[in-house]
Amino acid sequence: MAEPSTPELPRDRHLFAPGRKRILSLDGGGVRGVLSVAFLERIEALLAEDAGKPVRLCDHFDLIGGTSTGALIAAGLAIGLSAQDLRGFYFEAAPRIFRHSRLRMFGVLEPRFDARPLEEEIYRVVGTRHLDSADILTGLAVVSKRMDTNSTWVLSNNPRAPYWDDKPGGAIGNKHFPLTAVVRASTAAPHYFAPQPIQIVAGERPGLFVDGGVTPYKNPALPLLMQALMAPHGLNWQAGAEHLQIISIGTGERRERMAPGKAPPRTSAGVALQALVGALADSSVASLTMLHWLSGTRALWPVNSEIGDLATVAPPLGQPLFGFHRYDAHLEANWLADELGIVVKPQELRMLWRLDQPAAVPRLYEIGQKAAAKFIRAEDFRSHDLPRSGAPA
């Protein structure tokens, strides 16, 4: 297995030096990514207060990974940007990216949005970098879905990864992939944007990639954990709450329910769509359940009525595999009012659920700020032994 050619790089010190390791996992969710930005601003402020000086998250975390909008945030943080730097993407760029057109109103014959503004804004953040660029200052991983092979891809800047270098037969090493294309692939939500082509083998048709949110890993924490601990990936970090910490940040969750008295879908297509939406939601719940269970971490909200908040459930073999914190908010009227004192009307609430509504950004940011102030504590970052999680499940 190839050794890093330049071990003095900040990336390699994060990935391969001994000691405690920290992972930051960022969910997908379109414009709702601004909610994650608010949580990140709070984390930056607490770390700076503790250190007595500004702290970049690329210096604090050894691996930052994201799906969809979380991939963009992860890439920005990994090159040294602050959460405040990334806030403008949602307040300023989102209206240009999600500009509705009469010709694309329904997204049936072609995607609802032209992908060029999205690609331009991603390029504005990450520039001409490739996965092996030396100024990616920490570990970075991005989740996407390759359509033509029906496989989940987790692309990282780990130089010990199996496909980092070129292979016989013309296979192009991952280290050559442009970061703009990698992030754009993860944000290519079907129906909203066209797939992103990436050349995998010289002379062959490019692979077609779509949003990582249509994999089981809208929340990428589990594949990031696998990257850290599974031998084929080459990191081989040490397990245990005292050695490994995962911070997982969401973009606002809600439980899909059929309104009382509403008739079920009448067409096969309607049933299929509703089942797909439900399957993706189930994947998110399953991931969070596993993360809480493997870490022995209590959730502040019940996972479901059967297992509750896992307060009485011991981790497998009795020992936490890692320390874990999850931060998120429920985009439901009762929860917002009771927990954050925010009153939203039904029409505004439906707008908050959407992935493509720039008008919702200010309210989403407010929700993120208030949830972050309530649930993120300074002691969460002073120890790897994390007894509770600040996340609705």
Q: Are strands 244-249 and 323-327 parallel, antiparallel or unpaired?
A: parallel
Give the integer Cα–Cα distance in Å for 273 and 268: 9
pTM over 0.85: yes
pLDDT at residue 269 is higher than 70: no
In the prediction, which pLDDT does 183 show?
98
What are the tens digits of pLDDT across the range 338-382? Answer: 999 999 999 999 999 999 999 999 999 999 999 999 999 998 887
Q: What is the mean pLDDT of the chain?
A: 90
Residue 30 makes CB contacts below 8 A (sequence gap 6+) with 68, 69, 98, 189, 192, 251, 354, 355, 356
- pLDDT tens for 235-263 read 999 999 999 999 999 999 987 766 666 66
Distance, CA of 132 to CA of 154 (rounded, Å): 15
Angle 33-51/361-375 helices, nearest 10 degrees? 40
The two counts, helices (H) then strands (E), for the chain are 13, 10
Interatomic CA distance for residues 293 and 309, integer angstroms: 10
- Cα→Cα distances 261→222, 256, 264, Å: 38, 15, 9
Kindly calculate the radius of gyration of the chain based on its CA atoms and give it in whole angstroms: 20
Strands (E) across 33-102 are located at: 63-67
Q: Are 245 and 20 in contact (CB under 8 A)?
A: yes
Q: Which DSSP helix (H) or strand (E) runs through 46?
A: helix 33-51
pLDDT for 232 equals: 96
**Tokens 């996407």 sit on residue:** 144
Mean pLDDT of 182-206: 96
Tens of pLDDT, residue by residue over 120-139, are 999 999 999 999 999 999 99
Q: Which of the pair, 252 or 276, is modelled with greater confidence?
A: 252
